[in-house]
Amino acid sequence: MKTIDSAFFIVKEERIVYNIKRDEVMDMYYLDTDIPVELFQRVLKKKIYVDKSMLIDKFNDFIGSEDCYFCITRPRRFGKTINANMLGAYYTQGYDTHDLFKDLKIVQTASYEEHINKHHVIYIDFSNVPQNCNSYEQYIDSIYKKMRKDLIDYFHIEVHETDDSLSDFFLASQEKFIFIIDEWDSIFYKDFMQEKDKKAYLEFLKGLLKDQPYVELAYMTGVLPIKKYSSGSALNMFDEYTFLKDRSFGEYFGFTEYETLELCNKNGELRFEEVEAWYNGYLTATGIRIYNPRSVVKALKNNYCESYWTNTGAMDEVVEYLKYNTLDICDDVIEMVSGEEIDITINEEFRAGQRAPRTKKEIYSAMIVLGFLSYYDGYLKIPNKELMQEFEKALEDKSFGYVSKIIENSKNMLKATVNGDTDTIKSILHDIHNSEIPILQYNDENSLSCVLTLAYLAARDTYRIEREEKSGKGYADFTFHPRRKNDTAFIVELKKDESPEVAINQIKKKEYVEKFKRENNNHSILAVAICYDSKIKEHYCKIEELR
């Protein structure tokens, strides 16, 4: 027997070599458990799986180095937990997981055999809160006791004191560990967390991980980046990789455009173009196009594209900013719903433990971190049709006053258009123009397009609506492609300070309708001219049936 640390711990020098499943020897909470092995095995059994195993090779280069701390944050449903399971299944000793990885890309690398099943792994999901937990103290005490028990039982540590830090137990083991921490920030969402608790939690992680010789790799993931309380942040040893600033691991979280195309080709039912419209729109810091993986998988399984966005509560916060038009956020969202981008510079990111965002940039930063908006090269936008629907739903709330009324009236706008009721169309547009919403006051050329987008919002349920679509010899302002065979297709051309006849003639002259004839089996197409006279502030409309 060898005494360690002034008789606080006694450690047996002999070590047990495990070549069998851990649960056949002893049950562990966090140390070398089979949880990531079983979870990754389930992932591989899915019909739809995208190989992200080369992420392992990137981490292998840093094992045991000074730069071994990684915090990778992404919105929910972007594959963070799947990658955590993959890493745990690969590194955890006591198991032979070669069979799980034999068909994956990582097998072809030089580092594959060097590290597979060669490391002690602490795998912990911080979102697992004890039953009836009502305080941070209960939460962290449960983690402390379980991890302490794992170390004592596995390494046969005889304890003479019970109030030592976890780092003392790890040091007493005389071993090195890979830490895989999933959902590190989930505790910040709990109602019982106070400001002092948030700081205490960061100090707990600091004591466990920072500058500790037993840490050979730390992979930490969650939704929110680490809050920087000061230049001497408790967790400043971590290199952070976020949606805004990740130039190293972007392709491993979410499906790339090529991977999504391959999945669509293999599926054979859904067209890539449709999947692209629904779930594309995110870009990494290096410009790689990324798709929401959960939504893509759901669409391919169901052979149907729709919003598979799961409301996690975060959208409720976004709605609050819209309701009170905080810092003109609502006006910007209306513009983005119409398909426009917002020109804004966002450098700093909303972080874990931070107070509710107050400035416009903080609010947008939070929305980017949560995945509701995408940001690249100085432009902010709603990333895709899936998220567009979420914002449209939010704007339908009665508390949004005139905005919700506009959206409600959009059903009448569609009905009036297909029935040729130009008086109703003019009346609806007149009401929108006279609303209290600044962005809809025709302050610039995009405002008329914003008005039309909101006026026809309900049409998105039954039409594929395109703006500036290439058709015939030019680009049509708005094209409405029916999803149902009996609905009427139509083209809308907008003009300011021009007559409706000019707009109708442009539709004819540039042969916008030819593409629609092919799509609609030569059924009649409506040419819709909507014009605005800025001098007398009146709308005009003309509808003509084309064959």
DSSP string of 202-269, one letter each residue: HHHHHHHHTT-TTEEEEEEEESSPPP-SSTT-TTTTSEEE-TTT-SSSGGGSSEEHHHHHHHHHHH-S
Query: Which of 159-163, 300-304, 466-470 tops mean pLDDT?
Result: 300-304
**Inter-residue contact 36 to 94 (CB < 8 Å):** no
64: left (phi over 0), alpha (psi -120 to 50) or beta: left
Query: For position 230, what pLDDT does the model report?
Result: 43
Query: For position 160, what pLDDT does the model report?
Result: 72
Torsion of CA 297, 300, 303, 307, to 10 degrees: 30
Query: For position 461, what pLDDT does the model report?
Result: 83
d(CA 9, CA 282): 51
Residue 389 has pLDDT above 70, yes or no: yes
Quote the mean pLDDT of the chain: 86
Query: For position 18, what pLDDT does the model report?
Result: 33
Residue 280 has pLDDT above 70, yes or no: yes
If we measure between CA atoms, which residue out of 320, 292, 317, 323 comes closest to residue 307?
292
Name 384's Cβ contacts closer than 8 Å, sequence gap at least 6: 277, 278, 279, 280, 281, 292
Write down the residue that tokens 């509701």 correspond to. 372
What tokens were used for 454?
Answer: 């909101």
Chain centroid offset of residue 96 CA = 33
Q: Which of 55-64, 163-172, 262-271, 325-334 has the lowest mean pLDDT?
A: 325-334
Q: Which of 251-260, 265-274, 344-353, 440-449 has the lowest mean pLDDT?
A: 440-449
Residue 132 has pLDDT above 50, yes or no: yes
**Inter-residue contact 98 to 65 (CB < 8 Å):** no
d(CA 390, CA 39): 31
Query: For position 417, what pLDDT does the model report?
Result: 95
Query: For position 349, what pLDDT does the model report?
Result: 78
Name 123's bridge partners.
180
| Residue 327 DSSP label | G
**Inter-residue contact 116 to 40 (CB < 8 Å):** no
Query: Which of 118-132, 219-233, 361-375 tops mean pLDDT?
Result: 118-132
Q: 274: part of which helix (H) or strand (E)?
A: helix 272-279
**Inter-residue contact 32 to 151 (CB < 8 Å):** no
Contacts by residues 369-373 (CB-CB < 8 Å, ≥ 24 positions apart): 369/73, 369/75, 369/223, 369/224, 369/225, 369/242, 369/243, 370/75, 370/223, 370/314, 370/318, 371/74, 371/75, 371/76, 371/77, 371/78, 371/243, 371/282, 371/292, 372/314, 372/315, 372/318, 373/336
Query: For position 161, what pLDDT does the model report?
Result: 66
Query: For position 20, what pLDDT does the model report?
Result: 38
Residue 6 has pLDDT above 70, yes or no: no
Rounded to whole angstroms, what are the CA distances from 458 to 410, 468, 480, 492? 5, 19, 12, 16
Q: In the sheet where 69-73 sits, what is the strand order?
A: 120-125, 177-182, 215-222, 69-73, 239-241
* DSSP state string for 370-423: TTSSEEETTEEE--SHHHHHHHHHHHTSGGGTHHHHHHHHHHHHHHHHHTT-HH
Top pLDDT among 85 and 497 is at 85
Q: Which of 160-169, 264-273, 356-365, 421-430 has the lowest mean pLDDT?
A: 160-169
**Inter-residue contact 151 to 31 (CB < 8 Å):** yes
Query: For position 486, what pLDDT does the model report?
Result: 86
d(CA 333, CA 501): 33
Query: For position 23, what pLDDT does the model report?
Result: 43
In tens, the pLDDT along 507-533 reads: 999 888 877 776 666 578 899 999 988
Strands (E), 5-50: 9-11
- Residue 273's pLDDT band (boundaries 50, 70, 90)? very high
Residue 8 has pLDDT above 50, yes or no: no
* b (16+ CB within 10 A) / e for 460-495: beebebbbebebbeeebbbbbbbeeeebbbbbbbbb
Mean pLDDT of 89-97: 95
Q: Which of 6-15, 20-29, 403-412 has the lowest mean pLDDT?
A: 6-15
d(CA 525, CA 332): 33
- Residue 27's pLDDT band (boundaries 50, 70, 90)? confident
In tens, the pLDDT along 455-507 reads: 898 888 888 888 888 877 888 889 998 888 889 999 999 998 899 999 999 99
d(CA 539, CA 362): 39
Query: For position 326, what pLDDT does the model report?
Result: 78
Residue 278 has pLDDT above 60, yes or no: yes
Mean pLDDT of 10-39: 63
Mean pLDDT of 292-305: 94
Mean pLDDT of 29-47: 95
Query: For position 449, what pLDDT does the model report?
Result: 82
| Residue 482 DSSP label | E
Query: For position 4, what pLDDT does the model report?
Result: 35
If we measure between CA atoms, which residue out of 450, 540, 456 comes closest to residue 498?
540
Query: For position 547, what pLDDT does the model report?
Result: 73
